[in-house]
Amino acid sequence: MKKTLLLFALSFVTFGYTQTNCEEVKKENENLQSLKKALTSENEYLKKILDINKPMLETEKENSAFKITKAVGNTKDKTIAITFLVESLDENKKMTIEDISMVDVEGNEYKIDFFKSSNPYPELSLNVPVKLNFSFKDIDENPLFIKMFRFKTTAQPQRNLFESKKSFIEFRDIKVIWN
């Protein structure tokens, strides 16, 4: 009889204790669910960012990374816009981009349209990509591929502007998406 009463009293106390903590568990569960929703949306955002900046082609020269993210043609305006990221891998520097040209698969060479393009003098911070967009006009026959996209760069570290490194950047076989 004592064992039964002891077991009953222990069960009653346990049952009473679990009933009082139920509200706290519900609140904690709601907080965790809202945190999960926030983290899920942040995760989706980061996946989209990674997909947007996913390079089609990339190269490194003189401690700078160049990544082409897209090439888009506009049939109405007869233009092609090449978007790419430039990133300094060693230090902060000022860069000059010049002699920008593009050649299609038929051998037609196009010069840059500076009025619709980014500033060719980016200031680069260490490990921070800078997005540049260069536009070319009077495109013939909507080519599906750009055979060659090339330019020259001169990079000057901010610690010493008299020191400069020159390089020649060239990308080949870039797929163009036409709108």
- Per residue in 112-167, pLDDT (tens digit) is 898 999 989 999 999 999 999 999 998 888 889 999 999 999 999 988 888 899 99
CA 61 from centre of chain: 20
pTM here is: 0.69
Name which residue leads in pLDDT, 23 or 52: 23
Residues 154, 74: Cα–Cα separation, whole Å: 30
Burial class (CB in 10 A: 0-12, 13-18, 19+), 164: middle
Question: How sure is the predictor about 51, in pLDDT bands with cuts at 50, 70 and 90?
Answer: low
